[in-house]
Each structure stands twice: as C-alpha cells, then as structure tokens.
C-alpha cells in the first residue's frame, strides 16, 4: 500500500505541488508495467514517511501524463527528479538504494 | 553424463565481490519512447507593418518581425506577410540624362579649335616651305 505522503501528480497540479513547493520534491516518473519502478516504490514509501515535512515525494505515471515526461526529457524509468525552488536539482535514473536516496535528500535538507 | 560436461574456464566465472563490500543494486531502467520535446516554443508573430511605415498608434519599440519556423507549421498561425515587389514590378532603370546644351556647345568649340589648329599648322608649314628654303 502506497504511503499517504506520496503525492500523485498530474499536469494540472504539477506546478502547484512541485514548482511552487517550499520544500524539495522528489518526482518519480514511473509506469505500471515497469519492474524496476515497482521495486523502488516501497523505498519511496518509506522515505516519504521518514522525510515528511522536509522532502515531498511525488509520482508521475508516464502513461497518463506523457506531456510531463516529455517536458522533462524522461527517456527511461524509473527517473527520479529532485526539484528545489522550482528547478531540477538532481536527476537519478534507474534503481537506487534507500541509502543513496537518503544521501541525496540529506544534501538538500 | 556429468563427466562429459566440460569445466568452465577460469575467465567465465564472475569475480567474487571483495569481502565486506556491500552489493549495490543494479541501475535497472526501462527505456521508454515518448514523443520528442518540441524544439522551440510557439512563437507569436507580430503583424507586419504597412508599406507606408508605422502608424501613429503602433508601438515603435517592437523589433522588426523575424520569420521563425513553427514546429507544427499550422496555417492558422501563419501571420500575413507583406507582399514583396515582384521582379516584373521592379522600377525601370532611370533614363539616361539627355545631352545638355552646354555639352553641345563645348563639343562644337572643341571641334572648331581642332580644325583651327590643323589649318594653322598647315599654313605654318607652307610659310616655312616658301620662306625658309633658298
């Protein structure tokens, strides 16, 4: 079960939830049929709970929001974009460990 | 049967990770094909100025309009373009200026001077021939 702290993004709420967010936001571009995406999902759920209030974690289903994936040049999934002050601060492509992601978060906070 | 299976050469065995090192997960990804990002944002074409020049109400701070290709090339977005003068309508070359009266007078004077010089030369030669020869 996905964490309640995970934000589901669409093109309608992307600007409000990500670009105008006061806290860093990790955006996970994923798809249902993507195995590595499913593998990283529980890690992101845990991080969403651990970093609640400090780093927001959001998801973009690329099948439902191709425009967003195209906008940010997503060519492979999972792609994790960390936004800070409306700008892409870090791009992570592929499966990563929880420790690596925490290290990226700790650099931002 | 087991003895017929050749043993793997040493190089085929993946090297063991060093003791104590933590195994990093593979950076597994799934390639996706998405439509390419538009290379240029849609542009707003400024209306072209009339041939007579900017009108009093037209903003003068706009730069001259440049033709930028839109990615879609829709006909609806195409701004009207000021008609270019066709080659057939090109202004005819200016007529050659007519010879002025002053030019004609100078030409006549020059001709007279040349004739006078020739006549005087001829006369001088005759005089010298009659007077100079013993």
With an 8 Å Cβ cutoff, are B27 and A70 in contact?
A: no
With an 8 Å Cβ cutoff, are A95 and B37 in contact?
A: no
Res B9 pLDDT > 70: no
Q: Which two tokens stand for residue B58?
A: 């037209």
- Between the CA atoms of B75, B79, B80 and B84, what dihedral angle is there, to the nearest 10 degrees? -100
With an 8 Å Cβ cutoff, are A69 and B32 in contact?
A: yes
Q: Active-site residue A7, yes or no?
A: no
Q: Is A70 helix (H, G, I), strand (E, B) or coil?
A: helix
With an 8 Å Cβ cutoff, are A77 and B30 in contact?
A: yes
Q: What is the mean pLDDT of residues A19-38?
A: 95
Which residues, at least 6 apart from A88, have a Cβ–Cβ distance to it below 8 Å? Answer: A72, A81, A82
Q: Report the pLDDT value the prediction gives residue A108, as an integer from 0 to 100.
A: 83
Mean pLDDT of chain B: 61
Provide the CB-side half-sphere exposure for A67 (13 A, CA): 5
Among B24, B30, B34, the residue with its CB nearest the CB of A97 is B24
Among B25, B28, B37, the residue with its CB nearest the CB of A70 is B37
Q: Which residues in chain A have Cβ-Cβ distances shorter than 8 Å to B31?
A: 75-76
Higher pLDDT, B122 or B68: B122
Calculate ∠ Cα B25-A9-A85, nearest 5°: 85
Q: Report the pLDDT value the prediction gives residue B51, as an integer from 0 to 100.
A: 59
What is the ipTM for the molecules in this complex? 0.76
Calculate ∠ Cα B87-B89-B94, nearest 5°: 100
Q: How confident is the model at residue B34 (pLDDT cuts 50, 70, 90)?
A: confident
Query: What are the residue ranges of helices labelled H in chain B?
Result: 101-132
Among A70, A76, A77, the residue with its CB nearest the CB of B35 is A70
Q: Active-site residue A37, yes or no?
A: yes
Burial of residue A39 (CB within 10 Å: 0-12, 13-18, 19+) is middle
pLDDT tens, residue by residue, A56-104: 999 999 999 999 999 999 999 999 999 999 999 999 999 999 999 999 9
Buried b (16+ CB within 10 A) or exposed e, B36-61: eeeeeeeeebeeeeeeeeeeeeeeee
B96–chain A Cβ distance below 8 A for any pair: no
Higher pLDDT, B88 or A22: A22
Res B56 pLDDT > 70: no
Whether residue A19 contacts residue A7, with contact meaning beta carbons closer than 8 Å, is answered with no
Higher pLDDT, B86 or A92: A92
Q: Which two tokens stand for residue B14?
A: 């993946």
Residue A107's H or E segment, with its range, is helix A98-108
């Amino acid at each position: 079960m996905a964490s309640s702290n995970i934000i589901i993004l669409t093109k309608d709420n992307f600007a409000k939830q990500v670009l105008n967010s006061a806290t860093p936001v990790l955006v996970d571009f994923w798809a249902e049929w993507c195995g590595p995406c499913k593998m990283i999902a529980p890690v992101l759920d845990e991080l969403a709970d651990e970093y609640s209030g400090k780093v927001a974690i959001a998801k973009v289903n690329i099948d439902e929001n191709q425009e967003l994936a195209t906008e940010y040049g997503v060519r492979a999934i999972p792609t994790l974009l960390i936004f800070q002050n409306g700008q892409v601060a870090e791009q992570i492509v592929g499966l990563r460990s929880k420790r690596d992601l925490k290290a990226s978060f700790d650099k931002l906070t | 049967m087991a003895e017929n299976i050749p043993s793997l050469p040493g190089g085929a065995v993946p090297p063991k990770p060093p003791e104590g090192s933590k195994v990093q997960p593979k950076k597994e990804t799934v390639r996706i094909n998405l439509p390419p990002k538009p290379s240029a944002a849609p542009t707003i074409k400024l209306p072209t100025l009339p041939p007579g020049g900017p009108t009093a109400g037209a903003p003068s701070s706009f730069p001259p309009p440049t033709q930028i290709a839109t990615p879609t090339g829709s006909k609806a977005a195409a701004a009207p373009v000021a008609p270019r003068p066709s080659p057939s309508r090109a202004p005819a070359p200016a007529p050659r200026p007519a010879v002025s009266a002053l030019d004609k007078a100078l030409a006549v004077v020059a001709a007279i001077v040349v004739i006078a010089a020739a006549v005087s030369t001829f006369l001088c030669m005759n005089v010298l021939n009659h007077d100079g020869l013993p």
